[in-house]
Amino acid sequence: METREFEIRTERLLLRPHRLEDVDDIFEFARDPEWGRYLTVPMPYFREHAVEFVEDRIHTSRDLWPVWAMVLDERVVGGIGIEIDAQDATGALGYSIARKHWGRGLTLEAARAVVHWGFRERGLAKVYAYADARNAQSLRVMEKLGMTREGTLRSHRTLRGERVDDVYYGLLREEWMRDER
């Protein structure tokens, strides 16, 4: 798949494959401990972590786990991806955005575009996402996407030595197509 074919444009964002030159932008926001508070990222976050992250994203299979850099005004401000389970026609949506862009609707804008892509281009039957139960902003994104809260997995995993609950949300293709966000 050509890079241009893998780009998605939204009203304010360009979603495109990661490039090596994205490292500095990603390091700039990822070293903020508040950004990574609910994410399974190294803390503290060093530049070499950003290099490893970008290299990993460049080599990730677009068939199994399509990922995009979220670009605003020619700067990478976050990332979004959807891990595909082809056998079950489901996709696990994941996203993050720089703290200075929280509350501006950019994550929701990117998520809508990727969910639409997953249903239309990949023929997914369901897209789901989950977040640490304390991450109210991420849960709100899922709700605004029209996802249904499917459950809470109590004490589901360990994050920085602390047991955390994960809240799962899901959206079926027929629900998305009916509402056509």
Return the CATH number at 155. 3.40.630.30
* pLDDT per position as a tens digit, 64-76: 999 999 999 999 9
The model's pLDDT over 31-70, given as tens digits with 9 standing for 90+, comes to 999 999 999 999 999 999 999 999 999 998 888 999 999 9
177 close to 119: Cβ distance less than 8 angstroms: yes
Verdict on whether the full-model pTM lies above 0.75: yes
Tell me the residue range of the domain where 44 lies. 4-179
Alpha-carbon distance of 45 to 28, in angstroms, equals: 10
User: Distance (Å, rounded) from C-alpha 12 to C-alpha 72?
Assistant: 7
Of 108, 104, 115, 88, the closest CA to residue 173 belongs to 115
- Count of domains in the chain? 1
